[in-house]
Amino acid sequence: MDAPARLGTIVGGTRYSDPATKEIRHSIDLLDLDAGPLGAGRAPDRIPLDFLAHGFAPHPRRSEAALLEKRGPGGCHVDLVARAVIRPIAPMEGHHFYGHGAFTRDAGAFLAVESQLGTGEGAISVRDPVSFAVIDTFPTYGKAPHDCVLIEDGATLAVTNGGGPFGTDALPCVTFVDVASRKLLEKREVSSPRINAGHVAITMNRAFVLVSAPRDGLAETDLGGVSLGAESGLLRRVTRPEQVTGRMIGESLSVCIHHRTRTAVVTHPYAHLISFWNLGAGALFGAFDLPHPRGVTLTLDERYFAVSFGPAASLLLIETEPLKPRTDLDCGARIFGGSHIYTWAAA
């Protein structure tokens, strides 16, 4: 008999108050969904950190990962099996990390998204995968870069650039850069100057879903939202139905795609909303209320979307086919209080 499909381990950074001392602590938390029945109230394992981890970049060959801080100097290399920090990772001089990075497919280098402190110009630092020393750099071809995704068998790096403050000419954009030559292949600017370019999930042929916050210089109560990038090169902010898109105040934070059904899920923390998108039709087709949703990821078997939400940092599982929440499974209060969660396949 075949072994049951694995759900995987949910990974996410958090900041919390120590119950004994009330001091603020940081950690990366790991919850193995296959370790026992769902809803059993298991607590996640924890790796203590000295910064709030934003991105999670797993090593393609070893049970290790690189973690980076958003808009800060924090970074480290961790052993996910030993549950320990191996070494710190520091940004380049005059730069800070912007939260995300990726190991190349051959594990020959680590690519970190960085931003120059004075100008906001984006850079990718190319680092040795063991020592994390900088061995090369190349531009992101935009300002205030944030997310990055390796596509096309690792040959191309897609980067979101948040752009300069509202009113400046440095528009937010998504750029596609050839990793070998470091050359810009394609640049798609957002269709509205009031939103930035935050996180991205990519399907085939460079079609993608982009989530955005209000651009720097605008109020946090301005609208963020969702843009769809078609294979043709168009990047269109979706504004209908207005009764849903008009609620997307602040940042639209995390995005995840179920490729078989071409369904995307987006979290909107300040709107207390999750939205669902049909990528074939290029349209929003559903939404439901959820207190302060943050991270979203797919389980390994693609049976569920997992969503972190609420003041207690709970975890909700949503079936992908048919698309419905598993309200009968109480996964309890975890500690995934950061911006994102990820799925890791332990050996």
In this predicted model, what pLDDT tens digit does every residue of 115-144 receive, in sequence order? 999 999 999 999 999 999 999 999 999 999
pLDDT, tens only, 263-313: 999 999 999 999 999 999 999 999 999 999 999 999 999 999 999 999 877
Exposed, middle or buried, 118 (CB in 10 Å: 0-12/13-18/19+)? exposed
pLDDT band at 335 (very low <50, low <70, confident <90, very high): low
CB atoms within 10 A of CB 3: 5
pLDDT, tens only, 58-108: 999 999 999 999 999 999 999 999 999 999 999 999 999 999 999 999 999
Q: What are phi and psi of 183, to 5 degrees?
A: -90, 150
CA distances from 252 to 156, 225, 256 (A): 25, 6, 12
What pLDDT, on a 0 to 100 scale, did the predictor assign at position 341?
96
The residue with greater pLDDT, 1 or 163, is 163
What is the Cα–Cα distance from 198 to 114, expressed in whole angstroms? 14
What is the Cα–Cα distance from 264 to 210, expressed in whole angstroms? 11
Q: Which amino acid is at 287?
A: A
pLDDT band at 38 (very low <50, low <70, confident <90, very high): low
Q: What are phi and psi of 136, to 5 degrees?
A: -170, 165
C-alpha angle 112-117-119 in degrees, rounded to nearest 5? 105
What is the Cα–Cα distance from 87 to 67, expressed in whole angstroms? 11
Query: Is the pLDDT assigned to residue 336 strictly greater than 90?
Result: no
C-alpha angle 337-342-346 in degrees, rounded to nearest 5? 120
The model's pTM is 0.95
Portion of the chain with pLDDT greater than 70, in percent: 95
HSE-CB for 323 with a 13 A CA cutoff: 18
Query: Is the pLDDT assigned to residue 1 strictly greater than 70?
Result: no
Query: Is the pLDDT assigned to residue 8 strictly greater than 70?
Result: yes
pLDDT, tens only, 193-206: 999 999 999 998 89
